[in-house]
Amino acid sequence: MTECYLDAEALQKIDACVHCGLCLTACPTYRVTGNEAESPRGRLYLMRALAEESPGVSAQAIQPHIDSCLGCLACQTACPSGVDYETLLSQTRMALLEQQPAWLRVQRRLWLEYILPRQIWLTVLATVLQQFQRIGGPRVLKRLFQNPFIQKVLGPSLQAKVGFIPHIQEIAPLAQEAVYGENIRGRVALMTGCVMNTLFARVHRATIHVLVENGYQVVIPKQTCCGALAHHAGEHDITEKLATQNITSVLQSNPDWIISNAAGCGSTLQHYASICPTNENAKRFAEKADDILAFLDRIELKPPYQSVIMKVAYHAACHLHHAQEVQQQPYSVLSQIPGLDFIPLTEADMCCGSAGVYNMAHSQMSLDILNMKMAHIHDLGPIDAILSANPGCTIQLESGLAQRNLAIPVMHPIEVLALAYTRGGIHPQGHSTHFP
Ligand code: SF4
Ligand code: SF4
């Protein structure tokens, strides 16, 4: 790097760090390694050293420490000095892209730009995986990767990677350009996302059910991937391209609000104004964008029809709790459900290790972080469901539960609320698969 990759404003953001270390224990990678370079303070130090071209500090040397950051933003919540870690991480990742091997970049761009934004590709891939799982493929792979010789040749993290592959249940994505319900209190555009719509369309059906029951018309506008994964990877041009497509097509559906039920997507949608600074409609889009639980907390909810007798614990997804600062709203919305028993989860707002595709790229670290989360879940005692408002977290938690042979469903909070708006009984597993 021949010129400073951070502008003066970004350097000032680093200066806000007073090295107090209050963020260290909030940082999952520091908790696992105890290494300062794997902490927020250490990473900020490295960013500054790179920007100032300090002797002995190169892009290659700091890359592993920036790559291993989950982007969970727990440090930002913990920091009393208000360090804007999110922006600094994003700018550093963008600057380090050129250091990555060309083959890796090409492969990643192929996924981010051509596969994830196309529902057809995701449906095909999920169907192939589902068939592989039905014939017992994962069991065979697991046994194979337990073999010491195979582990030596292919590396021990392969076994962890196989454990993180989602178990495919239902593949029934919602169609675009559909409208549900009457416009009594307003019109909501629902962002269905890519992974969310492929693997968790049941959450969209529950979301539509709750909104329609509360007098909102729900439109599923023509849309593409929100760009969250590209944004976190520092691939700005792909993020901007996807955001631009969404801004144009979603605003054409004339919504009063643009709602997401996936924490990672919601956070990115709310950043569209800074992702597309020259797009005159980006600010309007971002102002309408909101998370479903934050939205429901703002409106007056119609009283639920029935009790939901369940004991649940809530895992606070990082991109809801830290990035969007939606913290009390999920509790406040769910507290309106009669019969629901909340069991507090220790360190509910600590990352589960999923972080987009982090569990595939840094499998051992991800597993170590997941183990901390699972220890807290184990301490809960008997429970009917774990609640999570992000598809990545749901897959990660399901994987941790499966590895421990725990048959506890992971549900989105909106699924529990949808049960309370259902007349005539509750699905025994608590899953709301039959909304509209
Ligand atoms: S974003 Fe998360 S992993 Fe990265 S430095 Fe902050 S707390 Fe640590
Ligand atoms: S809490 Fe904030 S000010 Fe303190 S070391 Fe961490 S980033 Fe720096």
- Centre of ligand 1 from the C-alpha of residue 71, in Å: 5
- Residue 178: what residue type? A
Task: Report pLDDT for 431.
Answer: 43
CA dist., res. 289 & res. 151, Å (int): 46
Residue 175 has pLDDT above 70, yes or no: yes
Percent of the chain with pLDDT over 90: 76
pLDDT band at 424 (very low <50, low <70, confident <90, very high): low
SS3 (DSSP) at 256: coil
Mean per-residue pLDDT, 55-83: 93
Residue 430 has pLDDT above 50, yes or no: no
- Centre of ligand 1 from the C-alpha of residue 40, in Å: 6
Task: Report pLDDT for 433.
Answer: 40
pLDDT digits (tens, 9 = 90+) for 22-33: 999 999 999 999
Ligand 1: list residues with CB < 6 Å. 26-29, 40, 43, 69-75, 85
Task: Report pLDDT for 102.
Answer: 87
Q: Output the residue whose Cα is nearest ligand 1's atom 4.
A: 69
CB-based contacts of 327, cutoff 8 Å, min separation 6: 316, 321, 349
pLDDT digits (tens, 9 = 90+) for 8-22: 888 888 999 999 999
Q: Output the residue whose Cα is nearest ligand 1's atom 8.
A: 27
Q: Output the residue whose Cα is nearest ligand 2's atom 8.
A: 17
pLDDT digits (tens, 9 = 90+) for 90-132: 999 988 987 788 888 899 899 999 998 999 999 999 999 999 9
Q: Output the residue whose Cα is nearest ligand 1's atom 2.
A: 72
Output DSSP code: residue 93. Answer: H
Task: Report pLDDT for 429.
Answer: 42
Task: Report pLDDT for 3.
Answer: 61
Say if residues 397 and 389 touch (Cβ distance below 8 Å): no
Q: Which residue has the tokens 């956070």?
A: 267
Task: Report pLDDT for 2.
Answer: 47
pLDDT band at 327 (very low <50, low <70, confident <90, very high): very high
- Which range, of 145-149, 250-254, 418-422, averages the lowest pLDDT? 145-149
Q: Is 40 in the pocket of ligand 2 (CB under 6 A)?
A: yes
Q: Output the residue whose Cα is nearest ligand 1's atom 7.
A: 27
User: Of 333, 350, 435, nearest to 396 (Cα)?
Assistant: 350
pLDDT band at 4 (very low <50, low <70, confident <90, very high): low
Q: Output the residue whose Cα is nearest ligand 1's atom 5.
A: 40
Q: Is 82 in the pocket of ligand 2 (CB under 6 A)?
A: no
Note the pTM of the prediction, 2 decimals.
0.91
Task: Report pLDDT for 190.
Answer: 98
Q: Is 27 in the pocket of ligand 2 (CB under 6 A)?
A: no
Name the residue of 65, 70, 90 whose CB sits within 8 Å of the most ligand 1 atoms, as the mutation to test its pocket.
Answer: 70
Q: Give me the torsion for CA of 250, 255, 256, 261, rounded to 10°.
A: -60
Q: Which ligand is nearest to the CA of 26?
A: 1
Which tokens go with 175?
A: 């169609």
CA 51 to chain centre: 30
Contacts 24+ apart (CB under 8 A), 93-98: 93/66, 93/232, 93/233, 93/234, 94/234, 94/236, 95/1, 95/5, 95/6, 95/50, 95/59, 95/234, 96/59, 96/62, 96/63, 96/66, 96/234, 97/234, 97/235
- Centre of ligand 2 from the C-alpha of residue 236, in Å: 27
pLDDT digits (tens, 9 = 90+) for 193-234: 998 999 999 999 999 999 999 999 999 999 999 999 999 888
| φ and ψ of 262, to 5 deg | -115, 120
